[in-house]
Amino acid sequence: MRRPAFYSRSPRTLPQAADSAAHQAAVSSPEGGGNGAPPDSSPPPNPHAKAGWQPGRRSFAFLLVLCAALVAGGATWWPRQGKALTQKDIDSAVLRTLQTNTLPSPAAKAAEIVRPSVVRVVGYGPEKATPEAKTQKRGRNMAKGKPPEADAPPGEVERGVGTGVVIVDKGVILTNLHVVAGAETIKVTFSDGLEAVATITGVQPENDLAVLQAQKIPDDLIPAAMRSTGDLRPGDQVAAVGFPFGIGPSVSAGVVSGLKRSFRSPEGKQELGNLIQFDAAANPGNSGGPLINMDGEVLGIVTAILNPTQQRTFIGIGFAVPIENAASAAGSPPF
């Protein structure tokens, strides 16, 4: 007994099934000539020929699942077959980055970290009634288009300009004592431009240090991070940040030249000990500013420069009070 052909439910097979039914009808129909032969000359279909396979809905779904499995398996397998990165590949990529990108210097990155904590410190006091002061005042008045008025009463003028560094976010500032000594009014200017009056809350004359408290502070004041000098060595990179001659904030870079140095003031009135010697450029106005490492951490407070002549300019030797001493002046030794 001949088995009927099986067709899938795919719509694409419907025309083929219709043609087969029409052919069977033509064979058994009287209009076919009465002898069972088809009206045309085409040979009858081979009953033993296998019908061409065409995927149905179930087969198509199976194919989709199979393809998804192959894709998922390939995604897992492919990276394992890729070339493993070697140290040479990594070195080549790093070298290309260094050649195609300009990176900031270590001193630049360190200065950027500490800059929000650095302040300009100015001490104001009565103008001294000396011949030099009178001459300077005449010059200022004439420059402003005013009469010389040589005998006019003295006013409040700048007595000292230096630098300070914020160590507590409530407005506690470290600076040098000689920057604010004798000042009747002290004003500090923060990195965002805010100017505030400050008062002296503590001094440490043996280390030329003063602690200030600002009466007004920025909302987002950031204190500097302090770092012990216990592992500091000659040759370590450092930077000095401050306002030399009132210009700044300025940055100069160098190295630690020595430790446990001593310095006597030009007047011979005071000798400082246990100082950090460094060769980063410092000038009047840097006093009270931070000496930092390449992580932007404060190692000391810049306090003096050595110059055997009468010139108060830098010749390559500067001194800083270690931060251990400086922090103790504020009553909070950090180490």
Our measurement of the distance from residue 100's CA atom to the centroid of its chain's CA atoms, rounded to an integer in Å, reads 20
Q: Where are the alpha helices (DSSP H) in 250-332?
A: 323-329
Query: Is 208 a residue of the active site?
Result: yes
**DSSP 8-class letter at 210:** E
Query: Is 287 a residue of the active site?
Result: yes
Residue of 117, 178, 252, 279 with catalytic role: 178
Residue of 29, 42, 208, 328 with catalytic role: 208
User: Which tokens sit at 291?
Assistant: 């000496």
Q: How far apart are CA 210 and CA 303, in angstroms?
A: 11
E-assigned strands of 64-169?
Answer: 118-126, 156-168
| Closest among 247, 238, 235, 214 to 302, alpha carbons compared | 238
**Residue 271, number of CB atoms within 10 A of its CB:** 10
Q: Which residue type occupies 51? A: A
Residue of 40, 48, 287, 295 with catalytic role: 287
Tell me how many degrees the CA angle 323-325-331 measures, rounded to the nearest 5: 105
Say whether 212 sits in a helix, a strand or coil: strand
Phi and psi at residue 265, to the nearest 5°: -60, 155
Q: Which residue type occupies 147? A: P
Say whether 253 sits in a helix, a strand or coil: strand
Residues annotated as part of the active site? 178, 208, 287
